């Protein structure tokens, strides 16, 4: 008689990892369609792929290269078309290289103490614009700037400096203006950012720098883009949802305040912002209306009670584009599920008055771009691997949807995600429940694995995930949580973790177990929890402060949040100030929410997986926790992968960890 959790499955760990091929950084231009392809079976390399408009597909990346940026540790936007060449960041040295066709690349930058990301080609000056990250004497606090690299000499010129972080440089079509996003500690880019604009002089330098919008703890702006008429559009959440706005600004040059050194203005802004109360930070969406600054006025263009944007963990996010003069295309989230739509603008161009849904069989859309009346995107569905789509909108609603690559159907009938919402502490939390197929002769109810995503400001989506199917095909039920603090449900839900990380998230995991048990969907005596990074912290907190779980798996998870404030990288070095509190003033609160401080409360077995080169959660974090549990005679497994960083990329290591985790759970099943 088959027993839940012990079903035989044709989906091996190797198959599940191989199916994890990913696409990203899609761009359409005169030279064709380009994208970056992550291949776990090829040493976890990222390859730049070109598909000509005649249909020929070519891998441009030589065997000893990988296209990946390390800026902010999470990278993104690691290449751009540069005339008849491509410029890319090589993972091994983090330098910008130039490549013509399939010829061997030539190194452009010679700055070993720097990393580069968010590449953009400026054809007017034959240069590459980028975010530069330069090492300092303090390895946790590099300097970030917006720079230009001459595409012939490799000479680097600083365009803007002084702010803590930069992202999303974008050029007007006439080449006369540059817009970008910046922000400062202690904020993250989904809490508070600024939209900047400057004029470009005849020598390529910037002048007339002005802040168009932002500088408020109640507004996070992202994805600025100039339209064909040079109007500036970006996504802002000043209404409580990430919606599209047009920014009106004066054509007149004003005094430049580009800060070449220091960040006095930013520090003054921070002092003012830090005086705001927590209640003001959490004001309801209905009270946050309009967006007016001294330099610009924002007009809503495409308004919905849905998020068009996503948290900018990586550079180069693209969830919208202009299709033609009167139509835009955008992806947005509706109760955790993705939608793709065309928005038709009113005759006065002031707002979208009509929408048309596209590709409804898909449930997540990323890296959206348009070229010559066609839409390109990376789309995910519930029953197949991710696809790169070409969509040709037609007037008769018979849109042409062509799969360029990907979209492989699985031989195994996948478990379908069921959206769930459940009560917790007088609020509502969300997730997706996957029920295993009942096998003939199987009795009882399935054990449950709770998935807790990283971030923690991130989200999980109802799309095909071979690693979830690995578990459901063996008779495990899975609940994939979008705990309070996840994105895709508006700003207020996204900011719900402010001050409550290590409390709210694990309570949502516990409440999910209780909800599914009350519904009769799981075996409440056999429940496990797993997570990576921030999800690993949620896992550890759940095992520390709740009695619902029989065991857990932590992938490079945080065990001591106070230590994390000392050891982690610049991008997240003040994140915990927001998630928990000031490390000095609120040190007791950190100890209260530290699994390491309360390791004696963990009474169930654990398994840990850690990368030896992880700079986000350093190996010592995990090893101290493992040691503490061993001292209590708690059964513990620890697997260290010396060459892995934050997130495992090599196929062999992913396979090993998945198989080890399965054996671990099966030993505990009763």
pLDDT of residue 21: 82
Neighbours of 523 (CB within 10 A): 18
Residue 433 has pLDDT above 90, yes or no: yes
Cβ atoms 62, 105 nearer than 8 A: yes
Partnered with residue 118 across adjacent β-strands are: none
- 418-668 CATH pick, 3.40.50.1820, 1.20.1370.20, 3.40.640.10, 3.40.50.300: 3.40.50.1820
> Rg (Cα) of the chain, in Å, rounded?
24
Query: Which has more confidence, 559 or 284?
Result: 559
pLDDT of residue 252: 56
Instruction: Flag the least confident range among 116-130, 339-353, 477-491.
Output: 339-353
CA dist., res. 73 & res. 197, Å (int): 26
Instruction: Flag the least confident range among 142-146, 226-230, 366-370.
Output: 226-230
pLDDT tens digits, 167-186? 999 999 999 999 999 999 99
Q: What mean pLDDT do residues 411-420 have?
A: 90
End-to-end CA distance of the chain: 15
Quick one: pLDDT band at residue 412, thresholds 50, 70, 90?
A: confident
Could you write out the three-class secondary structure of 348-402? CCCCEEEEEEECCCCCEEEEEEEECCEEEEEEECCCECCEEEEEECCCCCCCEEE
CA dist., res. 198 & res. 628, Å (int): 54
Residue 371 has pLDDT above 90, yes or no: yes
Q: What mean pLDDT do residues 629-639 have?
A: 96
Residue 264 has pLDDT above 90, yes or no: no
Q: What mean pLDDT do residues 104-124 have?
A: 97
Query: Which has more confidence, 254 or 11?
Result: 11
Q: What mean pLDDT do residues 217-221 have?
A: 91
Quick one: pLDDT band at residue 18, thresholds 50, 70, 90?
A: confident
CA dist., res. 617 & res. 645, Å (int): 9
Q: pTM value?
A: 0.90
CA dist., res. 251 & res. 248, Å (int): 9
* Residues 6+ away with beta carbon under 8 Å from 138: none
Q: What mean pLDDT do residues 197-210 have?
A: 95
Q: What mean pLDDT do residues 611-635 have?
A: 93
CA dist., res. 140 & res. 145, Å (int): 16
Length of the chain measured in residues: 670
Q: What tokens appear for 486 in the block?
A: 């996840």
Cβ atoms 465, 7 nearer than 8 A: no
pLDDT tens digits, 35-47? 999 988 888 899 9
**Residue 89: strand, helix, or coil:** strand
Strand pairing category for 96-99 and 106-107 = antiparallel
CA dist., res. 297 & res. 236, Å (int): 12
The mean pLDDT of the chain is 91
User: Cα dist. 269→34, 215, 239 in Å?
Assistant: 40, 7, 22
Cβ atoms 390, 375 nearer than 8 A: yes
Q: What mean pLDDT do residues 553-563 have?
A: 94
pLDDT tens digits, 481-503? 999 999 999 999 999 999 999 99
Neighbours of 584 (CB within 10 A): 9
Helix and strand numbers (H, E) in the chain are: 12, 36
């Amino acid at each position: 008689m088959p027993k839940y959790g012990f079903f035989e499955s044709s989906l091996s760990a190797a198959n599940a990892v191989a199916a994890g091929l990913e696409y990203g950084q899609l761009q359409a231009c005169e030279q064709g369609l380009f994208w970056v392809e992550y291949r776990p079976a090829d040493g976890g390399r990222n390859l730049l792929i070109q598909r000509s408009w005649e249909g020929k597909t070519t891998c441009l990346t030589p065997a000893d290269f990988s296209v990946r940026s390390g800026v902010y540790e999470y990278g993104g936007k690691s290449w751009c078309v540069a005339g008849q060449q491509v410029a890319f960041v090589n993972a091994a040295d983090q330098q910008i290289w130039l490549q013509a066709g399939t010829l061997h690349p030539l190194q452009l930058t010679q700055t070993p103490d720097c990393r580069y990301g968010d590449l953009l080609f400026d054809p007017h000056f034959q240069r590459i614009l980028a975010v530069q990250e330069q090492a300092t004497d303090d390895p946790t606090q590099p300097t970030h700037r917006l720079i230009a690299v001459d595409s012939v000499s490799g000479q680097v010129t600083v365009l803007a400096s002084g702010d803590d972080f930069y992202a999303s440089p974008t050029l007007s079509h006439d080449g006369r203006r540059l817009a970008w996003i910046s922000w400062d500690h202690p904020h993250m880019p989904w809490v508070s950012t600024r939209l900047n604009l400057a004029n470009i002089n005849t020598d390529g330098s910037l002048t007339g720098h002005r802040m168009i919008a932002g500088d408020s703890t109640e507004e996070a702006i992202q994805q600025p883009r100039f339209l064909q008429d040079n109007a500036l559009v970006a996504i802002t959440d000043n209404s409580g949802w990430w919606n599209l706005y047009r920014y009106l600004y004066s054509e007149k040059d004003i005094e430049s305040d580009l800060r070449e050194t220091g960040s006095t203005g930013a520090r003054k802004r921070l002092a003012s912002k830090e005086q705001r109360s927590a209640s003001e930070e959490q004001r309801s969406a209905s009270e946050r209306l309009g967006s007016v600054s001294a330099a610009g006025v924002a007009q809503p263009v495409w308004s919905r009670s849905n998020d068009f944007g996503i948290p900018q963990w990586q550079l180069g996010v693209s969830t919208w584009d202009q299709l033609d003069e009167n139509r835009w295309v955008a992806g947005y989230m509706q109760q955790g599920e993705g939608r793709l739509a065309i928005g038709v603008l009113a005759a006065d161009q002031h707002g979208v008055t009509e929408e048309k849904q596209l590709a409804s069989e898909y449930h997540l859309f990323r890296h959206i771009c348009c070229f010559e009346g066609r839409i390109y995107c990376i789309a995910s569905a519930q029953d197949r691997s991710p696809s790169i789509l070409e969509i040709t909108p037609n007037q008769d609603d018979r849109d042409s949807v062509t799969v360029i690559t990907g979209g492989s159907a699985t031989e195994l009938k996948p478990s379908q995600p069921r959206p769930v919402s459940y009560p917790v502490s007088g609020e509502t939390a969300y997730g997706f429940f996957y029920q295993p197929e009942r096998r003939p002769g199987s009795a009882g109810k399935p054990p449950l694995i709770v998935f807790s995503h990283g971030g923690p400001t991130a989200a999980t989506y109802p799309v095909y995930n071979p690693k979830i199917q690995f578990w459901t095909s063996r008779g495990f039920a899975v609940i994939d949580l979008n705990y309070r603090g996840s994105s895709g449900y508006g700003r207020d839900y996204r900011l719900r973790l402010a001050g409550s990380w290590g409390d709210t998230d694990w309570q949502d995991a516990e409440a999910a177990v209780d909800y599914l048990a009350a519904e009769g969907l799981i075996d409440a005596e056999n429940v496990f929890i797993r997570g990576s990074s921030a999800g690993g912290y949620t896992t550890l907190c759940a095992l520390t402060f709740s009695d619902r779980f029989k065991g857990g798996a932590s992938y490079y998870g945080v065990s001591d949040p106070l230590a994390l404030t000392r050891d982690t990288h610049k991008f997240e070095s003040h994140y915990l100030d927001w998630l928990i509190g000031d490390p000095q003033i609120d040190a007791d609160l950190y100890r209260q929410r530290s699994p390491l401080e309360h390791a004696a409360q963990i009474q169930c077995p654990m398994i840990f997986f850690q990368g030896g080169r992880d700079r986000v959660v350093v190996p010592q974090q995990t090893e101290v926790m493992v040691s503490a549990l061993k001292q209590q005679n708690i059964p513990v497994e620890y697997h260290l992968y010396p060459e892995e960083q934050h997130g495992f990329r090599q196929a062999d290591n992913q396979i090993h960890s998945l198989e080890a985790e399965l054996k671990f759970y099966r030993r505990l099943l009763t």
